Structure 1
Amino acid sequence: MASPSLRRNHCTTSGSHACCDQNRITHEARIGAYGSGAKPQPAGAGQVTDVVRLADQEYWEIADLDISNKGDTAATRRGVHITRTGSGTGTYYRIRRLDVHDVNGNQTKKDDDASAGTFFEVLGHATPTRFDDVVVENNTVRTVDHYGIHFWTRWMQRPELNNPNCGSTCGTWTPQTPLVIRGNTVTDIGGDAIVPHHTDGALVEHNRVDGFREREPAHCAAGIWGWNTNRALYQFNEVSGGKSECDGQGLDIDEGNIGTVYQYNYSHDNEGASSSCAMAAAPPPPTTSCGTTSARTTADSSSTSSAPRPATPRSTTAPSASPARSTSSTTPTGRLPRT
């Protein structure tokens, strides 16, 4: 059994970070707290790019930490950054009960090497590489630039995607799967709040987003959305506080989305639309499927009126168009062309 990396409660560190770059761990390991009291507080203080970093690792749980990374001026910064580079499939990742806050990252850099509260990133283009069996649940992310919770890979190329933006470094479609993003509270985000890009079968449920595109001067942004995804299911989420009509919508079915389902979500008080479906304009013909948006999905958009929240159904089983999704806490089962 790999030894866990634990911090005693009340512990505060500044300018240091937890980092692992071993080849492989074959049993679950943990970065977290022990004892009673307040959560340990690893604080990057803007002196490190990543406060917690795992590179080419698997079988890890990161839990019960209070993470910040605020520097004097904005720069590329993250709270938690988990990467794989040319290392094949990595499995079993659990990010739980973290408080990630005050990360004044690069406000305008999107996609790869972006700033975020929690970021899963796949690099390289020689060996197909992906994350498998990922759960991000019951965390808070606040006052972070650019992304709140972000997934990205260079292994995105497929006919359904008209606008791959990694050029010669793109690999053939190798999506992250399965993935669960559940029960997170994401507030005061500079750009996009929750973005499970390049995934197959993502389950995004019971999240609360309030305040996105708060500090993004150059690009559009949305609340909860995916780019280049298959069979994503978004349900029981509430999204509000989106700034600007450059997107600014709470929910978005974007380019290269196939079989996306939004149901039982509440999108309100956003300056953009409550939800949208975007298709690439360039040939070949658009391949985005606008999927299913339940009549009970969105209550209102840019208006400030209060509409009744959608009723909660008796079952959380995904529609037959998508595979059955687990709602267990332990087992998970586009934008217009960019400028």
Structure 2
Amino acid sequence: MEICGRCYYVSAIHGDDNNDGTESHPLKSLYAVNCLDLQPGDQVLLERGSVFEGQFLHLDVQGTKEHPIYIGAYGTGERPLIQTNGQGIWYQDYGTQLDAPTHVYKGYVSSAVLLYDCEYVTVENLEITNCGGVFGETYSAPHKMNRTGVAGIAKNRGTLHEIHLNNLYIHDVEGNVYDKHMNNGGIYFTCLKPDEEEKTGVARYENVSVRGCHLKRTSRWGIAIGYSYKCKEFMMAELPDELFEKYGHHNIYIADNYVEEIGGDGITVMYAMKPLVEYNSGDSCALEMNDRYYSEPENRGGKVAAGIWPWKSKDALLTYNEMRDMRLNQDSMAWDADSGDGTLYQYNYSRLNEGGCVMFCLEEAIHNEFRYNVSMDDLGGTISPSGNPDAWIHHNVFYHRAEVPFVRARMDDGTYTAEENKFYQI
């Protein structure tokens, strides 16, 4: 990376916020970083071994393509730890109701790292937690504060470009188990209604990547990019390219991540044109989609979660991923081609998922293909063509128990074509 701006050093061990931020005289806190007027090419480096207790990093900064802003680590030892403990509170409001009246669309959120209208920014090599919070608040409280490890917001700058999250360890994020589309979980990007859309244009993302991150014990989501206030524009089966040119995301890349012990869904990409999701691995997701945790939903439904899947995307490619041990709920399968156009799953591996291998979800999931995948001992029912009109399932290998049906019961009212698959009883 070409260095053209200033480098600010931050050490919780031997820094001082009265210092000038050089390596020999580092700043001490993230509060000082939040006050910096970061310019294109600037860097903020947190010292390895530092623990930023009860602190948060909230940025509204813009680099350029030639000179991005970089947030990372320096020194030796463990990654710097941002331990937010329910601090870093901000107010999220989509500015409109979402595609279901039961979806919460506004409220307070606690985020360890908030990238608000940021672009040309890279964040990497950090450890992040966000547990604790309001005194007396129970874990499953119906209006519990939403919490995030990293939250991305697009609102008042039109299309945001080049945001990259690399090698982050995000764990113990105690979010709200019910709120699916607030910034709630390990990594969650959303687009909110602009104050003056006619001037700024539609809020959306282009060239966002999440790579090499480890998400553990985050709720509700593991990784999600990126729910949009324009969701009602996508309420159809055929999703023309022009729709994404106006309202959707482009060049979303999610790769080499590991999600485990997640409260709800593992990895989801939303409202994206040709997103690529590859070489990710998941283990033991949907841990909270049950009556023990999902105990006070009030009028909210949605006690469902799947492993790695797209929502309202066009020509999504999900390849070389692995998902194991999804816990039982109304969905709980490894893969879910959900209400998208042209979803392709290929070369993926699933094992012991309690809701089966793959679902093709409802009438607005069209032109979907499932090929060259391996399912090893998935449970409940291997496939779920739930209301789907035209799934094509071919050249896969299914290892199954004798008592496990190919089509899951009560999820069998769709149409599919199965060709050249191999079945082995175990």
- TM-score calculated relative to the size of structure 2: 0.64
Q: Which amino acid aligns with 1:210?
A: D
Find the aligned partners of 1:159 and 1:122 in 2 and give their Cα distance: 14
Distance verdict in 2 for CA 1:296–1:272, change over 3 Å: same
1:63 alignment counterpart = 124
Query: Residue 161 in 1 paired to residue 236 in 2?
Result: yes
Residues 290-301 of structure 1 aligned to structure 2 (within 5 Å): 290-301=367-378
- CA drift at 1:195: 0.6
Letter in 2 for 1:43: Q
**Partner of residue 163 from structure 2, selected from 70, 75, 93:** 93
Check 1:160–1:124 CA distance in 2 against 1; reply closer, same or farther (3 A cut).
closer
Q: Does 1:21 align with 2:93?
A: no
1:259-338 matches, cutoff 5 A: 259-279=342-362, 286-302=363-379
Q: Which residue of 1 aligns with 2:261?
A: 188
Q: 1:172 to 1:157 in 2, by over 3 A?
A: farther
Bigger radius of gyration: 2
Q: Could you report, residue by residue, the CA deviation over 1:28-77 in whole angstroms, capped at 9, with x for unpaired residues?
A: 11111011111000100122311111111101111000100111554311
Q: Percent identity?
A: 28
Relative contact order, higher structure (CA 8 A, sep 6+) = 1
SS at match of 1:212: coil
Confirm or deny that 1:102 pairs with 2:177.
Answer: no
1:224 paired with 2:299, answer: no
C-alpha contact 1:253 1:290 (8 A) present in aligned 2? no
Give, as a single letter, the amino acid of the residue that structure 1 aligns with 2:275.
Answer: A
Structure 1 residue runs without a partner (length 5+): 163-170, 280-285, 305-309, 312-335
Q: Choose which of 32, 35, 38 in structure 1 pairs with 2:75.
A: 35
* Residue 84 to residue 223, structure 1, CA distance change in 2 (3 Å): same
Give 1:81's aligned amino acid.
Answer: A
CA contact (8 A) 2:183 2:190 kept: no
Aligned residue pair count? 290
Equivalent position of 2:216 in the other structure? 142
Matched, 1:54 2:137: no
Report deviation, 1:271.
Answer: 1.0
Change (3 A) 1:85 1:220: same
Structure 1 pair 94–190 and aligned structure 2 pair: CA distance change class (3 A): same
Describe the superposition over 1:244-265 as per-residue Cα deviations: whole angstroms up to 9, x where unpaired: 141000000011x111100010
Q: Give, in angstroms, the shift of residue 4 of structure 1.
A: 1.0
Unmatched runs of 5 consecutive residues or more in structure 2 = 6-40, 89-109, 140-144, 238-243, 295-301, 382-395, 398-412, 414-426
Aligned partners of 2:323 and 2:350 also within 8 Å: yes
1:276-295 Cα deviation digits (max 9, x unpaired): 1011xxxxxx3421411014
